[in-house]
Amino acid sequence: MFKKERTLLLFIALLLYSILSSCKSYQIVPNGYTVEGDEYFINIDKELAVFLGDDVLKEENWQTHVGPINVSKVDTKYKKVLKHLNYLDTAYKVLFTGRLKGKYSYDILAVINNFPNIKGQKNHLLDLTTFQREENKEGRYFYSTTAFRGQQVLHFVIPFVDKLWQEKMVSMIFLLPADFNDIDWAKDIVLSNVAMYRDRYEFTPSRTEILCPDDGSRSHLDYKIPEEKINKTGYMLMKAYGNVNGKRTLVVYRLMKPKDFYGSFVVCKGDYEINYTTLQDKIVWQTKINTEVDVVF
């Protein structure tokens, strides 16, 4: 009797271990971020940008002070979706997951393969022959629609590098209500990425928007991070927000490598709020600058 109980306990322990291990399977690619006021997700390690669409700009998606895009872990809900879509956790990593409000309320996640198929070995990447293929002047992509646990799943795969045995693909997955029928809305977001990746893609993990003419209305925005605040080991972000048409607006941000501490940028004359933050949007230092007053270096 004791032996049977011990065998049962061992079986339960192994089952629990298997379940817990599977829940930890899908990993996030490190060093990804989004910036409030910008439409792109950026991953430094993969040197990759993903266009997210206009919804990520909406204030309602940033009211929690956390932001709508998650780059810290893959929740169980999304792991189940990835398994449903036949993503091997050894072959793919997750770029981000998120929940956005806009024209629709929806979940979004992006995935990238770790390495290409290997000649002479069994393919580990998705079988794209089971997808619908679309090709136009912007480029080509593959997609499928399916249902999963009461939601409609729009699944897009975008070739980033399309050469045989060198495949690199970015997947965008949208989870929407079961009665969703506006697939062109999702395709527009995907096509923006297809066009961006199509030819001579250049990784640009920074943004600048000059919203005034070059007629004397421009000036330089200079900043210098205090010595005691400088991150000497990790990546940081410098973000500048100004008042544009009565609204707080992102006008410039820069990815800062370890030990970076100063910079100068052309902007419209005026007052700016400078935030020096981690990739996770934690403010380490901030100040206000008027572009008509020089920063002393």
Q: What is the pLDDT of residue 101?
A: 94
Whether 6 is covered by a domain: the verdict is no
Clarify whether residues 190 and 212 are in a common domain: no
Clarify whether residues 143 and 62 are in a common domain: yes
Whether 231 is covered by a domain: the verdict is yes
- What CA–CA distance (Å, rounded) separates 131 from 267? 46
Whether 14 is covered by a domain: the verdict is no
Q: Does the global pTM surpass 0.85?
A: yes
Whether 18 is covered by a domain: the verdict is no
End-of-domain residue from the set 165, 198, 231: 198
Whether 3 is covered by a domain: the verdict is no
Whether 20 is covered by a domain: the verdict is no
Structure tokens at 114: 């770790």
Look at 120-124, 131-135, 252-256, 292-296 and tell me which has the smallest mean pLDDT: 292-296
Whether 11 is covered by a domain: the verdict is no
Q: What is the pLDDT of residue 102?
A: 92
Q: Which domain holds residue 75?
A: 25-198
Clarify whether residues 179 and 32 are in a common domain: yes
Phi/psi class of residue 223: alpha, beta or left (left: φ > 0; alpha: ψ in -120 to 50)? beta
End-to-end alpha carbon distance in the chain: 80
Reference 211, options 222, 219, 203, 202; nearest CA is 219
Clarify whether residues 171 and 123 are in a common domain: yes
Clarify whether residues 149 and 82 are in a common domain: yes
The total of other beta-carbon atoms located within 10 Å of residue 136's CB is 10
Phi, psi angles (nearest 5°) of residue 193: -75, -40
pLDDT for residue 99 is more than 50 = yes
Give the pairing of strands 168-177 and 207-208.
unpaired
Whether 10 is covered by a domain: the verdict is no
> Over the stretch 233-250, which tens digit does the pLDDT of each residue have?
999 999 999 988 888 999
Clarify whether residues 153 and 170 are in a common domain: yes
Number of domains in the chain: 2
Clarify whether residues 135 and 250 are in a common domain: no
Clarify whether residues 130 and 255 are in a common domain: no
Clarify whether residues 259 and 140 are in a common domain: no
DSSP 55: G
Look at 111-115, 187-191, 194-198, 207-211 and tell me which has the smallest mean pLDDT: 207-211
Q: What is the pLDDT of residue 136?
A: 86
Q: Residue 244: which CATH number?
A: 2.60.40
Clarify whether residues 46 and 97 are in a common domain: yes
Q: CB of 162 within 8 A of CB of 199?
A: no
Clarify whether residues 172 and 53 are in a common domain: yes
> Average pLDDT for residues 124-140, to the nearest whole number?
92
Count of CA atoms in the C-beta half-sphere (13 A) of 138? 15
Clarify whether residues 77 and 135 are in a common domain: yes
- What CA–CA distance (Å, rounded) separates 279 from 28? 14
Q: CB of 195 within 8 A of CB of 138?
A: yes
CA angle centred on 83, ends 16 and 18, rounded to 5° = 15
pLDDT for residue 107 is more than 70 = yes
End-of-domain residue from the set 181, 198, 215: 198
Give the pairing of strands 139-148 and 132-136.
antiparallel
Count of CA atoms in the C-beta half-sphere (13 A) of 169? 28
> Over the stretch 15-44, which tens digit does the pLDDT of each residue have?
554 555 444 589 999 999 999 999 999 999
- The amino acid at residue 76 is T
